[in-house]
Each structure stands twice: as structure tokens, then as C-alpha cells.
Structure 1
Amino acid sequence: MSLHTTEEIASGGRTSVEVNNHDDCYYYWFATEPVTQAFCDSVTHLELTVNSLVEGSLAGREVWFELVIMDGKEACSPRTRDGVDLVWKTHQPPCGNYPVQSGVVFDCEHPIFTYLKAEDVIAVRISLGERPTNIAFTLSSGTLVAKRMSRGFFVPAGWTPKTLVHAIHSNGSCHVAAHDQNIQSKLWFSTPPLPEKVVSSLNLATFQLYTRSQNQGWADRPELGTYTWFEIALRKSSASLNATHDPPRVMSWRSHDTSIDQNASEEQGGEIFNYKHELLQHIEPGDVIEVWVYARFACWTHDAYEGRLELGLPAEMR
């Protein structure tokens, strides 16, 4: 089964555009229905395809197609962000009669996916340039196609497309305090059980933990280093329920430390676990990846405020 599906999300029929004055700079052709949150979480590509220019001429004209984010079906203008219209050019139609023309492929690195939210519509607009006049042409049809992660693929709530990365976030802070030489630890957050489809596709993936944290901020002998750190653990599916909150000793790897001078407002990234690492070599269907917070020795405390575990996916999974 493919890890993504391709679907037509909007289309426009034969349309004629005629402009005889300077006021009409744009022509809205067609638009999607309001998108859902599930669509926003799974879409990875958008592409506009336009059939040939069948009548008229655009020679010497600055005319192009655009994708526009609009705030619902009743909106009549683009949504803005920081005073800027959320509009992106796809391509210019050629002069004369041509077969199907495809625009720029908006992949998951494109900012349109950063700004798209549930209940938005994506409109196809024709820009007619500045001070248009005496423009007349006819287009036969247009189609807006989206590529999405397959429904069965692991996309839990809170995971969002970002370049080639999915990220699962912590849902709260975590505090660990040590009182002696014994190591103290707490489970902070984790992935859901990994389905077979994901596990079989992780041979080229990477994992990396990002955190905002701080410890007590002082030490009697700072030259000895820090005793507050994070670990990424692999919880095997065969683990008994009553062992869920035990420190993950067998399948656990250090990600990164929280230093004495660590600023809680600064994000830091841990070790990158790639396909050569034991973590990815031992994952099986049903396993869970966990993030643990650690501290050791008297007076050492570890406060983890925000965290996210990023799973970098190979491009073919998009």
C-alpha cells in the first residue's frame, strides 16, 4: 500500500476572462471546499494543472495563475499574515494554444502549509498584472491536485508536516529532583505504538529531541560537569503494564544534557539518531519511543518545560 494518495480537491470548467479597464486586476476562477484539520495534518503537495488557452492571446501580457488562502467560503479576498496577502504564484500561461500546463509543485517545505488551517479555502486566481486593459482569453479547464499521507499511516494528533519531518510534542512540563547518588527519572512524553507500516519505512529515518529546560543553575564543583540529562528510550511492546513507568534501562540512549548555565528560553537539540543507530535497528511494530528526564546527586533538579521529538522521513514517504 502506498504511503500517500493523490486526489483532486477542486476543479474549474471553461471560463472566459475579459478586462477592458484598469480596475479588475484579478479574476477568481475556482476554489476548494473549506479544508478540514485532517487535511491540514496530512497534505504534503499541491499542484495546479490548467488545460490549454483555447481562445484569445496573452502576447506581451503579464498574466499568471496563483494559489490563494482565503478565510472561509464567504471570503472575497486573501487572508493576510503580518499585513501580507497569503498568495503564491504557480505559473504563467503560454501564448497560443498549448496542451495541459502544470504549475509549480508546492511541496511540504512551502510556506503555504505553514499558514493553511482548518476551515480555510484554497482559491485559484488569475492575476492580470498592473493596470490591465483590453485582455480577453478563454481557458478550457483547471484542476487542483493534492498529495496526502495515506489514512492508515501514523499521523497522531499533534503531528504536523514540516519539511520532511513529523514532530510529536510534550503536553506539559516535567520536574525531577535527586536527593543522593541514586539516579532519579520520569517519563515525560512518548509516541503512540508504532504500526508495522511505519516501522518498515524507518530504515532511512532520523530521530532528534529538542527541549527547553534548566537545572538548579549552580554546583559545588562545576568543573565535573552536569548531572541532568535526557534520554530517548525504546519501550518494547512485550513490556508488562506494571513496568511502564520504570526507568528504561535496557533500550535507552542519552540524547543531551542540560548544563548549569542553560537558559530556559533557548531551545537545544540532542543527538541525531539515524538509520545506523541501535534505536532504529531494534524497532518493531507495537513499540513505543519515549522521552525521559534524568537527575542525579543531592540538590540537582531538572525542569523540562517544552519538548518535541522529530521524526525525519525519507522523501518517498511524502
Structure 2
Amino acid sequence: MQPAPVPVFDGHNDTLLKLELQKGTAKDRSFFEKAAFDHIDLPRARTGGFAGGLFAMFVPSRIARNGEAAFNPADQANFAEISHEFAREFTSRLFGQAERIADKAPDAVSICRSSMEIREAMEAGRLAMVLHIEGAEAIGEDLAELEAFHGRGLRSLGPVWSRKNIFGHGVPMAFPASPDTGPGLTDAGKALVKECNRLKIQIDLSHITEKGFWDVAKASDAPLVASHSNAHAVCPSPRNLTDRQLDAIAETRGLAGLNFHVAFTREDGAMRSDTPLETLVRHMDHLIGRLGEDGVALGSDFDGCLVPAAMKDVTGLPNLVDAFRKAGYGEELIEKICWKNWISVLERAGI
């Protein structure tokens, strides 16, 4: 009999967006039924050891006719600014997706509002779902929506995606490029960080410009976290973190989650599914060297990226764990990477 896979609590996926956009299309699917496409559903999660994670709520700039979000980096329309009204309504729909999943199967899925609830859900065999907003366009400058979203379970927020909003600027999907691509936080963005600190909502530094990163580092009293970003020294994408940024995260006892998207892992930035899992290991080696064994985790970007073919979907997580073992990682380190470090950093943030 095969041993049980190592549990994984993951830092980022776009599954709620996939489920929402595919309603009424040929790809309309239930989270509770195994699909042959996309990356995460409950049956496949159980097969791969996926015990939970941060479920992102992201509002695309443009939606294609087939119900998919349009992410072609060559088309700037996919990175256009969006209105507060549209973002607020769409984000509420994504909250609804998560709430319906949890309500339909309370013995199988929990929306977790604290690190303690994550532990309890994992121990009980329930999928631990933590809600995250990626790009804060759904929140107005007066921050009125933030407390309401917090009441619905919001515990993590990225002020920007890879576009401009009232809080700051995101990095483009360019290659090769530095993350120092534009301005930092606005005054509204600094106020957002402070209010998130008060409410114990984690600030996510993935997608933000380097100037924005340093503005958050100055304004925030919580550990610095980049949920799904890799090492710029290994792959020079602006979505990745420089060594100086990684050192700043380490100083706050923060965390970076390894992104599985092939273009953010390869030295040439190519979109090739034949990218070996050893490429991800090379990033993890670098992250451990800068952040230490307690500052690294997984931030897959499942359902929002192209993963290596050797992984395919969430059922391939044990293949990545095997690649870590082949690289000489011990079982204690693997458990830290796969789930323990995420819960620990949320605890340090008071969540």
C-alpha cells in the first residue's frame, strides 16, 4: 500500500475564479467531482495530499468568450485598470463560491479564520480554505469594504495585482526585467496596510513593485510575506524577489511561497510544460539559502498558471516532494515547506 502523501497547505490558487468563470460553459464543473482539466477539485486534492491553502479572489481585467480569464502578457488589455464597482460585485461572487462549497460539505471543507482553525480542520481531515483577495480594487479608498470582507473570512490581501489601482502599482508580466518597474504605495495604500495590520489580515507582496515592497516593509508591523514568488537571481522575472527583498523578509521572520508557474522558474522565462521539477528545486535551494528553513513554503498558483507536466495538477504534489527528497531534503524540512511554515507565519502575524 502506498504511504499517505505529505500534507500540503499551499499559499495561492485561483480555483474560485475558475469555478466562477466556467459557470454555464462547457467546462462548468463541481468542486466535489473529479475533473480531467484544471488543477484542483476535492477528489484530486485528497489524492495529492492537498490539505488546504489560501484561495484567491481575483478580478480579471478581461474575460474571454469561453469563460476563461485572459492573461496573454502580450495584450495590455488584459492588465487594464478595473472599476471599484465591478471589482466589488465580482469579488462578492467569489466569496459566494467559497461559502457555497463550505456550506454544502461542512464535514469536508472549512473556511478558516485563524491558524488554530487551520490546524483543527487539517486534523479532522477537512480541506482548510483561507480566503485571500488578489488586487484590492474591490475596496474603496475609505476602506469601508475591508471590515465587511474580514467578517466573511478574509485573512490575506495583496494590495495590487500586475496593474495599477488606487493603492499602488503591480509589476508587468515582462521578461527579463527587474521588479523595480514603477511607483510604490499611494497614501491610500499605506492606510490599507495599517488597517490590515489592525484587523490581522496578512499583506501579500507578490505582484507589487519593488518600491511598493519597501513601502509595505516600512508601514507594516507584521512579518513580510510573498505568497507565490520565486528567486529573481535564478529567473529574472519581475514577479520574482531580489536577494535584498528576500533578506528583508528573513529579517521579519516572514515567508516566500514557491510559485510553480514555469515562466517564473526557468532561466529563459519560457512557457514550456516540459520544465523539469528540478527547476523548482533550484529556486527552493536559493530561497532556503536566503530565508532559512522556517521562511520557505509552497505558493503553487494552481488554476492560474502553467505547471510542469511532471506535476500536471494537484495530484502531482507527491512528485515535487519526491524531487525535494532526491535533492537531499530531510522529512522535517519537507514538512516545514509543505505546511508547517505557512501556519507558523500566520500565527506570528496574529491570525
Please tell me the TM-score bracket, short chain as reference: under 0.3
**Length-normalised TM-score, structure 2:** 0.23
Which structure shows the bigger proportion of residues in strand conformation? 1
**Length-normalised TM-score, structure 1:** 0.25
Which structure shows the bigger proportion of residues in helix conformation? 2
Bigger relative contact order (CA 8 A; separation at least 6): 1
Larger radius of gyration: 1
